[in-house]
Structure 1
Amino acid sequence: MANLIEPELTLPLLQSLQSERFALLSTIDHESGSPYVSAISWLYAKDPHTVFIAVNHRSQIVKNIKSNFKVVLNVVALESTYSITSEALIIQDQIKDISLNLSLIQLNVKEVKDVMFYGAKMTTVPKYSKTYDLEAAKKLDQQVMEALKKA
């Protein structure tokens, strides 16, 4: 069976991208021109064509996007793995009213590919746990997700 290619997020995928989750964001390194892959967790799909992410304002991601706006977001969801080709736009260099200096980035979805290899499905989604002050983490997560939803 051929991998599916869509011009936008399907409704089930959109819904699965409306909460904090593990994802990989690929950018092009602004100095070397090589692929650069980062793990992120703060993301929110606003509609089939738009995903917002938040990253540290000094992140290599921000520098790379300023140099080349083409990115790919990889997520595990719905028993598969998806590659979401997008064009990134830095909406805010620093999101207001958040205790950490984060940039707000809009991903304009251009193509969604199911890239799971043939004959397999994902049986669990990647899980992680916070390794710092859990109360502070919870408060920060709430602040960031609210900012992403309002964007």
Structure 2
Amino acid sequence: MANQVETVITEELLPLLREERYVTIATVDHETGGTNVNAISWVYATDEKHVRFSVDNRSRIVENLKQQPLVTLTLIGEGSTYAIAGEAKVIEEKMEDVPLKLALVEISVKEVRDVMFYGARITTEPKYEKTYDKEAAEKLDRQVMGAMKK
């Protein structure tokens, strides 16, 4: 997909957004008007035009999106880096069947752009590990991902 702009999430990228993974999200800060960037992991593409994510409902991300819905997710995968831009809306202030106070947000995808610099390829994707109780983390991940798929 190098140097191309798509209006939907491609078949190659769709599976990457159907599992918990490291992505960054950029929003417009509701106080400063500048860029606000965060790392998140609970993402799920319901189809090629919609990506859901979940964050603490007290997060600055949620307040930013209520004021200005423009958002960009950055995804590293398939040997490149992709910017997925669109408009987001909070569809649940507090997700059901999840013990934490998490908001569910859905992005309507407008553009998917390969933003990798010329002449390079990603050889190792970002990896992370949860630093709290492994069993509790796995249970919470299952609950959140299950709720996002509804």
TM-score normalised by the chain length of structure 2: 0.98
Q: Distance in 2 between matches of 1:60 and 1:99?
A: 20
Residue 34 (structure 2) pairs with residue 29 (structure 1):
no
Amino acid at match of 2:5: I
RMSD of the TM alignment (CA)?
Answer: 1.1
Change (3 A) 1:79 1:2: closer
TM-superposed deviation, 1:2: 6.1
SS of equivalent residue, structure 2 residue 129: coil
Aligned pairs for 1:51-130 within 5 A: 51-130=51-130
Amino acid at match of 1:70: L
Q: Deviations over 1:88-123 (max 9, x none)?
A: 010000001101110000010000000000000001
**Structure 1 stretches lacking a partner, 5+ long:** none
Aligned residues: 150
Amino acid at match of 1:146: G
Q: Distance in 2 between matches of 1:21 and 1:77?
A: 10
Contact 2:28 2:35 in 1 (8 A): yes
Contact 2:2 2:114 in 1 (8 A): no
Amino acid at match of 2:145: M
Q: Distance in 2 between matches of 1:74 and 1:90?
A: 19
Residue in 1 aligned with 2:135? Answer: 135
Amino acid at match of 1:41: S
**Structure 2 stretches lacking a partner, 5+ long:** none
Q: Distance in 1 between matches of 2:104 and 2:37?
A: 18
Change (3 A) 1:14 1:2: closer
Structure 1 segments, 4+ long, off by >3 Å, are none
TM-superposed deviation, 1:12: 1.0
Q: Deviations over 1:118-146 (max 9, x none)?
A: 00000111100000111110000000000
Q: Distance in 2 between matches of 1:86 and 1:133?
A: 35
TM-score normalised by the chain length of structure 1: 0.97
